[in-house]
Amino acid sequence: MHWRAFPLHPDTPEEGRLLRELFSNVGAADIEKMLGHLRETAADLGLLFKERDKTYNSRLAQELGLWAASKNKGDPFDGAVFRAYFGDGKNIAKIPVLIDLAEAVGLPREEALQVVEKRRFESAVDADWARSQEHGITAVPTLMLEGSKLVGAQPYDGLTQFLETRGIRKRQAPQV
């Protein structure tokens, strides 16, 4: 599996954007319904989901995440960003927040700061964003395999079925 960056509301300013502004084309009841679905899905999966009224720009987190992956710390960093955003409601567009998260997963603080300030992974994120556009990906998460897409958070059975219909079988645990 290979994770790719996706342009999720790239025009969101650093200070964030109110959800009611972001989704101004739908009513408050529809926003609450959407958030209710996210709360329910998170609870079913045992994930954190803090009530919030804002969204934050994830661009710099994506750039730092690709750097973290190059240091074999991609999964821990992405997990830390996920918990900070969804569990703690932190603004992941803020550089100090991102640098603290990088350091918390064992990445060098000064190097992380240089990566963000010099935008060393900007072109790599641009390439991922372009790839998502080329493939018609419009939402996250999207699992793509052999040209087929599974869009949105899915229950385990849905993921299993998607993979099995494409010839991917569940690994058997090694016999000890």
> pTM value?
0.84
Residue 96 predicted with pLDDT over 80? yes
pLDDT, tens digit (0-9, with 9 covering 90-100), for 6-28: 888 899 999 999 988 888 888 77
* CATH class of segment(s) 56-134: alpha beta
Q: Are 119 and 112 in contact (CB under 8 A)?
A: no
Q: Is the pLDDT of residue 88 over 80?
A: yes
- pLDDT per residue as tens digits for the range 110-160: 999 999 999 999 999 999 999 999 999 988 889 999 889 999 878 888 889
Backbone angles phi, psi at 89, to 5 degrees: 70, 25
Query: 47-62 burial by CB neighbour count: b if 16+ within 10 A, else e?
Result: eebeeeeebbbbbbbb
